[in-house]
Structure 1
Amino acid sequence: MFTSTGSRGLYKAPLSKGLLLVPGALACLLTLAFPRHQGLFSYDMQAVRHNFQFWRLFCGRLVCLDLRDTFCSSLLIYNFRVFERRYGSRKFASFLLGAWLLSALLDVLLAEVLHHLLHLNVDVLPSGPLAPVFALFVPFFHSIPRVQVTQILGQLSITNKSLVYIVGLQLLTSSPFMWIVALSGLTSGELYLRDVLGVQRVLRVPGFAARACSRALEPLFSGAEPNREAAVGMGATLDIQRQQRMDLLDQQILLSQFAQMRRGRQQQVGLINWNRFFPHLRHRGQNPAQPRGSVVPAAPNPVSEEQVARLMEMGFSRLDALEALRVSNNDINMATNFLLQH
């Protein structure tokens, strides 16, 4: 499920960690310890329309009152933590804030349209920060490349994004009116991502608020840098440990090659001398008629421009995308993980 976003836990994702811990803990307390107070956090649209209880647009969208919704939304937030690492906590918080505010307006508009046109009374919507979770599917769809993992029955393709969409579908079908929240969340995410009517300049976290939250909350929710050696030993079987060690070795090799290519890029112009990185290939292409010490440089594998374009759409430069694809032997999934993590 997390092949497209890496496996470094919540390192450099304090906001995602806070969204996992605080709403989840409040949902468990309201469900198990204080069930009588759940009405304060109910997303009651009828009370908003008729009794003008506009405070429910705030309180009703803070905590999930269904533990299944809490679990599914937590899985999705954990998966979407990669956007906080890429954009930074302030920009990521601005996206969530903009989607949260825009979706509140869209919820009211959709409820009124359904009431007047279809005579469908939308009394209570699912509670919790579900609209921003659905809004995160927009950058996930646009920026995370789709890489095929396997096929079922020779026809059904399984990609690195399939399980994320399955969890989203499970969340969508958990309530009769969840589709309204999903539609408003996806629409608000698209509007904010495309900066329609300049919403990114209006609906963003102020600098002073970002600095204050960074000083007060980041020490509480900052994740420790993962211990690679300890992570390798967490496998339950020898096969899992062996596979983890192989993955770690591949990652270290990629990091070393990528760093050397960055240094060599400032010194060389033209093709990269791959014999410098792979000494065991030094005599493979040598012509017997040539002197013993001469070497024929190995031609690099061609890089697909389509894969380069997909990595550039994620925000990486063309040179970084080319180098990552070359050192990963044109494996876009490995190149994406490498660029996101390093």
Structure 2
Amino acid sequence: MFTTTGSLGLYKAPVSKGLLLIPSALAFLLTVVFPQYQTFFIYNLQAVREELQVWRLLCGRLICLDLKDTFCSSLLIYNFRIFERRYGSRKFASFLLGVWILSALFDALLAEALRSVFGVKVDVLPSGPLGPVFALFVPFFCSIPRVQVTQVLGQLAITNKSLVYILGLQLFTSSPFMWIITLNGLVSGLLYHHNVLHMQRVVFVPGWLAHCGSFLLEPLFSTAEPTHEAVLGMGATLDIQRQQRMDRLDQQMLLSQFTHMRRNPQPQGGLMNWTRFFPSLRHRRPANNQAQPAQQGPPNNLQEVSEEQVARLMEMGFSRVDAMEALRASNNDINMATNFLLQH
């Protein structure tokens, strides 16, 4: 669940931590301490078009000059940090770089089309890395499951994703021309996420650059693994606390089963010696505490494995057999399966 995955702070998310700290600090300095330098970071397309100030496509898309935009985008980046833990820092950075370049291209093309066709003059757009922020809504919509938390007025469902969409709506309505940034960010995210025209092979962070960044920057932005008390959170509701405890019990049970299998290997395929696992705790007993009917057939046939999730685990370097068995053992919970495979 997103609530569980999002409860580990900035652990294993150094890129997200850097995006939270550096642009926010610079935005505060430019707004409060050095406002005279804000002119160098204005996203001025007219200056790019008429005065050939191409450098504004870089500087104008690095720092938000509106503190409200800085706050909303920082909250969204904090929520989207789960993709860095899921994909890895290099792939996450490649996604941000790809959509950052694509959205800059689309911004210039759309502004020129509005000026030429409709006579709408778009000279200045909102500054900051807003295109990649809106692009992250694409994997958020496609890969994060929607889980209902409660209902308002008996009909309006509140889910684990509602707050993120509300933050996106707040950012969308913060400027008259923010819809251009939003549209281009979403289009860029769709193109890169679905690898249209093999964009993921064309625009990416090179391995040598990733190693240099890991060596130089990761010590500064790495975060220690949180304790169980920190994961739980003092302000968490009883339902979230109960769910998180259940998830931890699931992981401990899977880890104990895996330890037992490693001590007693079986002649099976795959990089790991897998055997049948117990079903996840939260699937053993329904919410009304009534006993479930006995299942028939061998345990390996109880759970169908999603090919899309298998492909995602294989992209991370795991074999198909291990990916399928991990997903089957964790009841198709890709987050638990990923954590389990990474630890072993």
- Residues 257 and 125 of structure 1: CA distance in aligned 2, closer, same or farther (over 3 Å): same
The CA deviation string for residues 220-267 of structure 1, in whole angstroms up to 9 with x for no partner, is 0011111224555x626xxx6977775554233211222244455965
Q: Distance in 1 between matches of 2:151 and 2:125?
A: 37
1:73 matched to which residue of 2? Answer: 73
The 8 Å contact of residues 278 and 329 in structure 2, kept in 1 or not, is answered as: no
Q: Distance in 2 between matches of 1:242 and 1:101?
A: 43
The CA deviation string for residues 76-102 of structure 1, in whole angstroms up to 9 with x for no partner, is 111111111111111111111111111
The CA deviation string for residues 188-210 of structure 1, in whole angstroms up to 9 with x for no partner, is 11111222222212211112111
User: Which structure's relative contact order is higher, taking Cα pairs within 8 Å and 6+ residues apart?
Assistant: 1
Q: SS in structure 2 opposite 1:25? A: helix
2:336 matched to which residue of 1? Answer: 338
The CA deviation string for residues 316-342 of structure 1, in whole angstroms up to 9 with x for no partner, is 8333222212xxxxxx7xx45534554
The 8 Å contact of residues 86 and 335 in structure 2, kept in 1 or not, is answered as: no
Matches within 5 A, 1:136-285: 136-229=136-229, 235=234, 246-247=242-243, 249-262=245-258, 267=266, 272=276
Q: Normalising by structure 2, what TM-score? A: 0.80
The CA deviation string for residues 136-166 of structure 1, in whole angstroms up to 9 with x for no partner, is 1111111111222222223222222111111
The 8 Å contact of residues 5 and 79 in structure 1, kept in 2 or not, is answered as: no
Q: Normalising by structure 1, what TM-score? A: 0.80
1:56 matched to which residue of 2? Answer: 56
Q: SS in structure 1 opposite 2:149? A: strand
Letter in structure 2 aligned against 1:189: G
The CA deviation string for residues 267-325 of structure 1, in whole angstroms up to 9 with x for no partner, is 599995859x9xxxxxxxxxxxxxxxxxxx963799575x8567557648333222212
Q: Percent identity?
A: 56
The 8 Å contact of residues 93 and 205 in structure 2, kept in 1 or not, is answered as: yes
Q: Distance in 1 between matches of 2:105 and 2:277?
A: 57
1:282 matched to which residue of 2? Answer: none
Unpaired segments ≥5 residues, structure 2: 269-273, 282-292, 315-322
The 8 Å contact of residues 274 and 298 in structure 1, kept in 2 or not, is answered as: no
CA positional deviation for 1:22? 0.1
Is the deviation greater in 111-120 or in 159-168? Answer: 159-168
The 8 Å contact of residues 73 and 171 in structure 2, kept in 1 or not, is answered as: yes
Is the deviation greater in 162-171 or in 13-22? Answer: 162-171
Unpaired segments ≥5 residues, structure 1: 278-296, 326-331
CA positional deviation for 1:34? 0.9
Q: Distance in 1 between matches of 2:85 and 2:77?
A: 13
Q: Distance in 1 between matches of 2:87 and 2:329?
A: 22
Q: Distance in 1 between matches of 2:123 and 2:212?
A: 38
Q: SS in structure 2 opposite 1:69? A: helix
- Residues 134 and 253 of structure 1: CA distance in aligned 2, closer, same or farther (over 3 Å): same
- Residues 167 and 9 of structure 1: CA distance in aligned 2, closer, same or farther (over 3 Å): same
Q: Distance in 1 between matches of 2:16 and 2:27?
A: 17
- Residues 181 and 247 of structure 1: CA distance in aligned 2, closer, same or farther (over 3 Å): same
2:328 matched to which residue of 1? Answer: 322
Bigger Rg, structure 1 or 2: 1
Q: SS in structure 2 opposite 1:117? A: helix
- Residues 314 and 198 of structure 1: CA distance in aligned 2, closer, same or farther (over 3 Å): closer
RMSD: 3.1
Matches within 5 A, 1:95-134: 95-134=95-134
Q: Distance in 1 between matches of 2:39 and 2:245?
A: 53
